[in-house]
Amino acid sequence: GAVVSQHPSRVICKSGTSVKIECRSLDFQATTMFWYRQFPKQSLMLMATSNEGSKATYEQGVEKDKFLINHASLTLSTLTVTSAHPEDSSFYICSAGGQGRQPQHFGDGTRLSIL
């Protein structure tokens, strides 16, 4: 089946650091990727839709200057958490594909811990 690779799986860093998370579709091209945030034992919250070659579409309440998304190729989207603070600590998950009848395929997530 389709594979989505997300890296790194875990990040621990100091407050004020910027952190970049990569999401790659390994065996298919993805014009659209999605970035989610998940709090413990809760559902996924869609943060933004990443569009290849154009600006990302952010959900209401998500700061686009805080969470920078770049989708420069058909197989790679990146999420950069700028000047991260402890409240940004969370589990971030990306997905790719899922147009029409096809399911979205998810990465394994990134556990971000800001000290």
Partner 1 sequence: AQSVAQPEDQVNVAEGNPLTVKCTYSVSGNPYLFWYVQYPNRGLQFLLKYITGDNLVKGSYGFEAEFNKSQTSFHLKKPSALVSDSALYFCAVRPSSNTGKLIFGQGTTLQVKP
For position 107 contacting partner 1 by CB under 8 A, the verdict is yes
Find the part of the chain contacting partner 1 (CB under 8 A) among 14-22, 36-44, 62-70, 76-84.
36-44
Q: Of 43, 54, 65, 87, which one interacts with partner 1 (CB under 8 A)? A: 43
- How many CB atoms are closer than 10 A to CB 106? 19
For position 98 contacting partner 1 by CB under 8 A, the verdict is yes
- Provide φ and ψ at 97, rounded to 5°: 75, -160
Q: In the structure encoding, which two tokens stand for residue 79, read together?
A: 């999420």
For position 7 contacting partner 1 by CB under 8 A, the verdict is no
Q: In the structure encoding, which two tokens stand for residue 113, read together?
A: 């811990």
The smaller minimum CB distance to partner 1, of residues 18 and 29, is found at 29
Q: Of 24, 37, 71, 105, which one interacts with partner 1 (CB under 8 A)? A: 105
- How many CB atoms are closer than 10 A to CB 23? 28
For position 91 contacting partner 1 by CB under 8 A, the verdict is yes
Between β-strands 104-106 and 44-51, what pairing exists: parallel, antiparallel or unpaired? unpaired
Residues 73 and 52: beta-carbon distance below 8 Å = yes
What is the contact surface with partner 1 in residues (CB under 8 A)?
A: 1, 4, 6, 32, 34, 41-44, 46, 49, 91, 93, 95, 98-101, 103-109, 111
